[in-house]
Amino acid sequence: MNNGFLEEKKHKREIQVRGFLRTFFSIGINFWNRIWRGNAPDFPLFIFASVTSALMGLPIIYVIWRSAFAGKDRWVRLLDTRIPTLLWSTLSLGVIVTIFALIIGVSLAWLVQRCNIPGRKAMQWLLALPLVIPPYVGAVTYIIILGPRGWIRDWFGSSPFNIYSFWGAAFVLTMFTYPYVFLITSAALKKMNRSFEEAARAQGLTSYEILWKVNLPLLRPAIGAGAILIFLYVLSDFGAIAMLRYNTFTSAIYYQMGSYDNLSATVLSMVLILVTLIVLWIEARTRKKQKYYQTTKSYKKPQLYQLGFWKVPVLLYMLAVFFLSVVLPITVLIYWSKLGIEAGALDQRFWAYGWNSIKVSGLAALACMVLALPIVYLKSRYKSYFTIFIDKLSYSGYALPGVIIALGMIFIFNQYIPWLYNTPTLLAIAYVIRFLPQSMQSADSSLNLISPSIDEAARSLGFAPLKVLFKVIIPLITPGVLAGGALVFVSAIKELPATLLLRPPGFDTLAVRIWVETSESVYHLAAPAALLIILVSIVPLKWMLSKY
Amino acid sequence: MFKKKKITIMMLIAMLVVAFTACSTDTTQPQDQGDVAPNETKELVVYSTRNETFVQPLLDKFESETGIKVLALHGGDAVINKIKEEGRNVQADIVISNDIGALEHLRLEGFLQGYEPNGIEAIEERYIAEDMSWFALSARARVFMYNKDLITEEEMPKSILDLADEKWKGEFAITRGGNGSMIAHISALRNEWGDDKTLEWLDGVKENAGAITQGHGDVRRAVGAGEFKFGLVNNYYYHQQLREPNDNNVGVIYLDQAENEMGTVVNAAGVGFVKGAPNELNGQRFLDWILQPENQREFSYASLEVPINPAIEAVGEAAKISDFKVQSMPLRELGKVWADTRNLIERSGLDLEIR
């Protein structure tokens, strides 16, 4: 009797709970569907992307947390005195470098992919080579050549222009960042179907008009992607900028750190994050309504333009860029390496450093290829506020100075995830946070050329959404993903500030070796390590370009 | 409005995910600490702001003599920030710094602990922290290094005051005001002159400097290459430049040495003991060990600096600490005035100036 009463009570409660859960879930599902506008993605994919973006958001959380404790006075003081001038010097440099790098990168990509240049095949990867030269190494070589006491002065009596200036910094950064645009644009040009151009020609458009009305608009996503990588790179660069005695937000952050003022540094970082958001917003805004898809079934190789009279000037232009961005710096490096090797720079430890570099950067590159895909896919196929948010969040690490990322990771991992702390894996995670956007941009610009109708076709044939991703989409965008991975590898192997702070004690990489010597300006001992970084990076670069 | 709400909700979710991963591992932490019985470790973790080539041979020597494995992180000035960020789960035992200001800064913020090592008597009191949590081992004097192709010793200015003199406009290079050595130097000048005169001097220097660089290496190189007649550096940069394969025709001036002048400002490199050091006993052993005369010698020899302990002989090119007049402000006072000096430099605008 008593028992039965209890049972009944229990039963009643169960019904109540069930009812509650049902309403709860239906509200949840309703809300969920509203977010995705009735087109919700696969749950595993969604979880995967969310966890990735949470990881990417770590530095931002750190910066917000710290700068919140900076106090009103510090904010006011910095806003009054520092931020306006820094904003101007940083943005002007970023804009100029982006413009010039776009001009050089897009023009070279078009010439190499679409014109009958002698040695096209070789040019394809030779012109991408500056990517593997760390910009701080590039800056040093140009100081040695163009500096007030450089080689030019020794030979001609005076240096034609002051390398320690706005234009000096702009020149060096342009020469060593244009390959981002060159590579991404080349990849897009290769995928571009000739039938568009043929249709345009059939309509009576001239080659010039086809370039402006067909090629360039189709390249718009790739150009935008490259522009973002370059602009944000300029925001975050420290090495080259400090050597050329220019001042940006990032260098100011470093200088504040140098006098142990972590708080002012995070306040400046906060501003940097805002700038990044604005830049991303502008880029998204300007391509909002445009969508370009390509069909791959009817793909035909593009025809090469005959340059005719223009062949010589065009060749000269390409050779000039190649000479300034590759031949000169490498010549200087070889010269210094010779001095360094004579002074005994190569010992057994040196090769161990090289192996460490390859290991950590390789791990980061692999991780980026895997992690970028879900985010990019969600963003492109399941547009919602959530996907926009995780996409934007992923950029925070790319624009922030490496040292801030490192401190953020120390702050979080040392306290809460100590088993990863002081391991090479943590270093790889830092590289992922810093460079994931590179692989995202690369994958994104490939994915943007594939129409969602292909997904729909596959779905209508009974493929599950995840199967569509694996069987249809991934094979189509593999070149883009691999290119992204290679980009990450060459960036990670050059990375310095985060490496310096996050590596386990006793774990060294080539970039650290370069720093140890250049921090005391002993260039001849730094040169062999720089040369080895370049040699090691050439392998993935070539492999990646051959996979296209 | 509704859009904004959604975005904030998303942000909250993202943060929750982070918090969740963070909390779930939090529980393992005390166990970790329990495993490590205090004082029975075989390791020593050393963070150093100095150039690795100066410090690593010394650490290797310690390792081979004691059998304690040394894990070293040579990370530049940022290791100070790292120690501050690691405060809740301390990793380092010993910090070696180029700059006493940094050690005193750590001490004042509560990141160091006191210990009285054997042999500390050899170091003069002004080079030891109040609570003995750090002590200095090698000094570097602030000097003018000049290019002998461009200027002779007689023509060279001999006082730090001369930098504010219009006569030298565009002729010299200095580091930016936020550089640690520079802050220490300016602290000593404030101690000597007071704030108003120092600020006036800073304005003059900012006006006159031909180049303001990120670090001393750039100054050394620029002067060696003849971009400028002279530059303000620590004395060992001069010794380094002498050992360069080229551009090495340089000389040195110790500043303000005349009878009624203040003497040259000296900064020092030293060793600090981190509070909560995981290998505390080994840290103490290291501090005792490094005070042995031959190790003191090693410490300053590798970097071409001047031993603080006058009983230890200096490297060939370097003047002994008793050979020149030293400005009177004790280095241990540095931490207290550090923030004020920084503010003063900031007021002059020299902190971020680079050109």
Q: What is the 3-state secondary structure (H, E, C) of A146-209?
A: HCCCCHHHHHHCCCCCCCCCHHHHHHHHHHHHHHHHHHHHHHHHHHCCHHHHHHHHHCCCCHHH
Tell me the CA distances in angstroms from B9 to A35, B12, B166, B351, one per residue in order.
Answer: 11, 5, 61, 41
Distance, in Å, from the CA atom of A388 to the CA atom of A28, rounded to the nearest integer, reads 21
Rounded to a whole number of angstroms, the distance from the CA of B32 to the nearest CA of chain A is 9
Rounded to a whole number of angstroms, the distance from the CA of A249 to the nearest CA of chain B is 10
Residues of A in contact with B23 (CB under 8 A): 416
Token pair, residue A172, equals 């060096």
Q: Could A516 and B23 be called an inter-chain contact, meaning their C-beta atoms sit closer than 8 Å?
A: no
pLDDT digits (tens, 9 = 90+) for A515-532: 777 766 677 778 888 888
Chain B residue with Cα closest to A243? B214
Q: ipTM of the assembly? A: 0.74
Rounded to a whole number of angstroms, the distance from the CA of B250 to the nearest CA of chain A is 15
Chain A residue with Cα closest to B81? A260
pLDDT of A68 above 90: no
CATH code linked to domain B141-265+337-348: 3.40.190.10
By residue count, chain B amounts to: 355
Distance, in Å, from the CA atom of B106 to the CA atom of B79, rounded to the nearest integer, reads 11
What pLDDT does residue A428 have?
93
If you average pLDDT over residues A15-28, what whole number do you get?
A: 76
Closest Cβ–Cβ partner in A245, A262, A414 for B354: A245
Token pair, residue A330, equals 């490498």
Pick from B2, B10, B68 the residue to mutate for testing the A interface (most A CBs within 10 Å): B10
Half-sphere exposure of B272 (CA within 13 A, CB side): 34
pLDDT of A541 above 70: yes
Rounded to a whole number of angstroms, the distance from the CA of A507 to the nearest CA of chain B is 8
Chain B residue with Cα closest to A169? B355
pLDDT of A296 above 60: no
If you average pLDDT over residues B164-185, what whole number do you get?
A: 87
What is the average pLDDT value for chain B, to the nearest integer?
82
Q: Could B22 and A419 be called an inter-chain contact, meaning their C-beta atoms sit closer than 8 Å?
A: no
Residues of B in contact with A59 (CB under 8 A): none
Pick from B44, B103, B354 the residue to mutate for testing the A interface (most A CBs within 10 Å): B354
Q: Is A357 within 8 Å of A510 (Cβ atoms)?
A: yes
Distance, in Å, from the CA atom of B102 to the CA atom of B96, rounded to the nearest integer, reads 10
Ramachandran assignment for A294, one of left (phi > 0), alpha (psi -120 to 50 degrees), beta (any other): beta
pLDDT of B285 above 90: yes
Q: Are strands B94-97 and B266-273 parallel, antiparallel or unpaired?
A: antiparallel
Q: What b/e readout covers A304-334, taking b as 16+ CB neighbours within 10 angstroms?
A: ebebeeeeeebbeebeebbebbbebbbebbe
pLDDT digits (tens, 9 = 90+) for A351-400: 888 889 999 999 999 999 888 888 888 888 777 777 888 888 887 787 78
What pLDDT does residue A169 have?
92
Most confident of A472-481, A494-503, B134-143: B134-143
If you average pLDDT over residues A474-480, what whole number do you get?
A: 81
What is the average pLDDT value for chain A, to the nearest integer?
81
What pLDDT does residue A297 have?
55
Residues of B in contact with A403 (CB under 8 A): 78, 81
If you average pLDDT over residues A427-451, what whole number do you get?
A: 86
What pLDDT does residue A520 have?
65
What pLDDT does residue B3 have?
46
Distance, in Å, from the CA atom of B298 to the CA atom of B290, rounded to the nearest integer, reads 9
Closest Cβ–Cβ partner in A149, A385, A422 for B225: A149
If you average pLDDT over residues B146-163, what whole number do you get?
A: 90
Which is nearest to B48 in space by CA: B57, B36, B37, B38?
B57
What pLDDT does residue A430 have?
92
* pLDDT tier for residue B309 given thresholds of 50, 70 and 90: confident
Rounded to a whole number of angstroms, the distance from the CA of A216 to the nearest CA of chain B is 34
Q: Could A414 and B215 be called an inter-chain contact, meaning their C-beta atoms sit closer than 8 Å?
A: no
Q: Could B89 and A418 be called an inter-chain contact, meaning their C-beta atoms sit closer than 8 Å?
A: yes
pLDDT digits (tens, 9 = 90+) for B216-259: 888 998 898 888 999 999 888 888 888 887 788 899 998 888 87
Q: Is A430 within 8 Å of A502 (Cβ atoms)?
A: yes
Strand partners, A290: none
* pLDDT tier for residue B21 given thresholds of 50, 70 and 90: very low
pLDDT digits (tens, 9 = 90+) for A186-239: 877 877 777 777 787 788 877 778 777 777 787 888 888 888 889 988 988 888
Q: Could A505 and B45 be called an inter-chain contact, meaning their C-beta atoms sit closer than 8 Å?
A: yes
What pLDDT does residue B111 have?
93
* CA B97 to chain centroid: 5
Long-range contacts of B110-116 (CB under 8 A, 24+ apart): B110/B275, B111/B83, B111/B84, B111/B87, B111/B274, B111/B275, B112/B272, B112/B273, B112/B274, B112/B275, B113/B273, B113/B274, B113/B275, B113/B276, B113/B277, B114/B273, B115/B273, B115/B283, B115/B284, B115/B287
Distance, in Å, from the CA atom of B296 to the CA atom of B268, rounded to the nearest integer, reads 13
Same fold yes or no, B39-139+267-320 and B141-265+337-348: yes
Coil, strand, or helix at residue A289? coil
Residues of A in contact with B11 (CB under 8 A): 389
If you average pLDDT over residues B264-290, what whole number do you get?
A: 91
Q: Could A385 and B10 be called an inter-chain contact, meaning their C-beta atoms sit closer than 8 Å?
A: yes
Distance, in Å, from the CA atom of A50 to the CA atom of A64, rounded to the nearest integer, reads 20
Residues of B in contact with A243 (CB under 8 A): 214, 218
What pLDDT does residue A362 have?
92
Q: Could A242 and B82 be called an inter-chain contact, meaning their C-beta atoms sit closer than 8 Å?
A: no
Chain A residue with Cα closest to B83? A410
* pLDDT tier for residue B37 given thresholds of 50, 70 and 90: very low
What pLDDT does residue A2 have?
59
What pLDDT does residue B42 have?
86
Pick the CATH number of A58-291+307-547 from 1.10.3720.10, 1.10.1740.10, 2.60.40.10, 3.40.50.720: 1.10.3720.10
Closest Cβ–Cβ partner in A247, A256, A520 for B217: A520
Chain A residue with Cα closest to B353? A247
Q: Could B85 and A258 be called an inter-chain contact, meaning their C-beta atoms sit closer than 8 Å?
A: no
What pLDDT does residue A327 have?
92
pLDDT of A86 above 90: no
* pLDDT tier for residue B28 given thresholds of 50, 70 and 90: very low
What pLDDT does residue B24 have?
39
Token pair, residue B14, equals 């993202």
Coil, strand, or helix at residue B88? coil
Q: Can you give the pTM of this predicted structure?
A: 0.78
Ramachandran assignment for B97, one of left (phi > 0), alpha (psi -120 to 50 degrees), beta (any other): beta
Domain ranges (residues) in chain B? 39-139+267-320, 141-265+337-348
Q: Could A410 and B77 be called an inter-chain contact, meaning their C-beta atoms sit closer than 8 Å?
A: no
User: Max CA-CA distance within chain B?
Assistant: 76
By residue count, chain A amounts to: 548
pLDDT of B14 above 60: no
CATH code linked to domain B39-139+267-320: 3.40.190.10
Residues of B in contact with A422 (CB under 8 A): 91
What pLDDT does residue B286 have?
94
More confident residue, B92 or B9: B92
Q: Could A260 and B81 be called an inter-chain contact, meaning their C-beta atoms sit closer than 8 Å?
A: yes
Chain B residue with Cα closest to A411? B85
pLDDT of B98 above 70: yes
Residues of A in contact with B105 (CB under 8 A): 260
Q: Which of A85-89, A271-275, B60-64, B347-351 has the lowest mean pLDDT?
A: B347-351
Domain ranges (residues) in chain A? 58-291+307-547
* pLDDT tier for residue B31 given thresholds of 50, 70 and 90: very low
pLDDT of A15 above 70: yes
What pLDDT does residue A373 have?
86
pLDDT of B146 above 90: yes
Q: Could B211 and A385 be called an inter-chain contact, meaning their C-beta atoms sit closer than 8 Å?
A: no
Distance, in Å, from the CA atom of A472 to the CA atom of A441, rounded to the nearest integer, reads 20
Q: Could A505 and B77 be called an inter-chain contact, meaning their C-beta atoms sit closer than 8 Å?
A: no
Q: What percent of chain B has pLDDT over 70?
A: 87
Q: Could B178 and A251 be called an inter-chain contact, meaning their C-beta atoms sit closer than 8 Å?
A: no
Q: What percent of chain A has pLDDT over 70?
A: 90
Residue B51, burial from CB neighbour count under 10 angstroms (0-12, 13-18, 19+): buried
* CA A61 to chain centroid: 21
Q: Could A385 and B220 be called an inter-chain contact, meaning their C-beta atoms sit closer than 8 Å?
A: no
Q: What percent of chain B has pLDDT over 90?
A: 23
Q: Could B72 and A262 be called an inter-chain contact, meaning their C-beta atoms sit closer than 8 Å?
A: no
Q: Could B85 and A259 be called an inter-chain contact, meaning their C-beta atoms sit closer than 8 Å?
A: no
Tell me the CA distances in angstroms from A407 to A12, A500, B273, B291, one per residue in order.
Answer: 54, 11, 21, 33
More confident residue, B197 or B352: B197
Residues of B in contact with A58 (CB under 8 A): 18
pLDDT of B1 above 70: no
* pLDDT tier for residue A253 given thresholds of 50, 70 and 90: confident
pLDDT of B101 above 80: yes
Rounded to a whole number of angstroms, the distance from the CA of B128 to the nearest CA of chain A is 21
Rounded to a whole number of angstroms, the distance from the CA of B82 to the nearest CA of chain A is 7
What pLDDT does residue B48 have?
92
What pLDDT does residue B274 have?
94
Tell me the CA distances in angstroms from A394 to A174, A365, A478, A481, one per residue in order.
Answer: 24, 16, 21, 17
